Structure formats: C-alpha cells, structure tokens
C-alpha cells in the first residue's frame, strides 16, 4: 500500500493524504460469493473547499471542470470497484483522482487565428474556374 504522505498530481501539486477520505463498501454486480462477502469497493472523497493544497484560482478551475463529480458540500467523489482487492481499488481511485485534477488544471493554449495563404486561395479559385469551364462546355445550347 502507498505509504507516502502526499498524492502527487503534477510536479507542483501534491494533495496531502490527510485531506482524502476512503470508505470501503461491498461492490455490486457479478462475482459470486466473493463479491457478496468482501468490502472491496472504494469510495474516495476529497474535500476541495477545505483543501490547502490548491490555490483559490486552481480551486475554481477544478470546481468548474469537475462539477458533475462534486457532491452538495463540494467534495470530489470517486468510486472504484473494478478490482478484486480493496488495495488495488484504492490505488485505482488515487490514480483516477490524480488524472482528473491534472486534466482539470490544464489550461489549453489560445488558438491563433490563421488565414489561408494567397497561393492556396488562387489555386482554389482557378480550380473552380476550370471546373466551371468544363461544365459550361458540356452544355447543349437550346435555341
């Protein structure tokens, strides 16, 4: 099991594990007797509003991008139940939280508007003109 005190998200951001709560419950679905008797499903809760790991600006960006994953109190909720062991599901939930926060904090580069080059415009227009001449020559004059 992870023994580090922080969950590394980016080189500049690490979430203290004291801010993360884990809850183990019984996983549903197929699996027979094993799934009915063991609590392997992990629910991870990260208290975003009270977190000291992120700045106010980062907190707002995360809140906006992860709005569907927030509960009424503003906590980020992640559920992992794909694996058979509690430890593996805990690691999966950690990785998912890390990836989600990293993605939420990514600022896309601004798009610089570009124009097609003059040569491309001329080529397009000349091909249109050529096509129109071909069609014009096919026409049968009805007089």
Are the C-beta atoms of 5 and 17 separated by less than 8 Å?
yes
CATH hierarchy code of domain 6-105: 3.30.160.20
Q: Where are the domains of the chain?
A: 6-105
DSSP assignment, residue 12?
Answer: T
Q: How far from each other are the two terminal CA atoms of the chain, in whole angstroms?
A: 90
pLDDT tens sequence across 104-143: 999 889 999 999 999 999 999 999 999 999 999 998 766 5
Q: What pLDDT, on a 0 to 100 scale, did the predictor assign at position 39?
A: 78
CA-nearest of 69, 61, 63 to 43 is: 69
pLDDT tens digits for range 79-102: 888 887 888 899 999 999 999 999
Quote the pLDDT of residue 71: 87
pLDDT tens digits, residue range 11-53?
888 899 899 999 888 777 666 666 566 778 889 999 888 888 8
How far apart CA 46 and CA 76 sit, in angstroms, is 5
pLDDT score, position 30: 64
pLDDT of 73 strictly over 60: yes
């Amino acid at each position: 099991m992870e023994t580090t005190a922080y969950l590394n998200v980016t080189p500049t951001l690490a979430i203290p594990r004291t801010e993360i709560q884990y809850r183990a419950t019984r996983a549903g679905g197929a699996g027979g007797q094993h799934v009915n008797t063991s609590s392997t499903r992990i629910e991870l809760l990260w208290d975003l509003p009270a977190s000291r790991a992120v700045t106010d600006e980062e907190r707002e960006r995360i809140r906006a991008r992860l709005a569907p994953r927030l509960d009424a109190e503003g906590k980020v909720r992640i559920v992992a139940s794909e694996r058979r062991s509690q430890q593996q599901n805990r690691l999966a939930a950690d990785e998912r939280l890390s990836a989600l926060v990293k993605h939420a904090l990514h600022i896309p580069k601004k798009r610089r508007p570009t124009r097609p080059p003059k040569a491309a415009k001329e080529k397009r227009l000349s091909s249109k003109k050529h096509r129109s001449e071909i069609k014009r020559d096919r026409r049968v004059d009805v007089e």
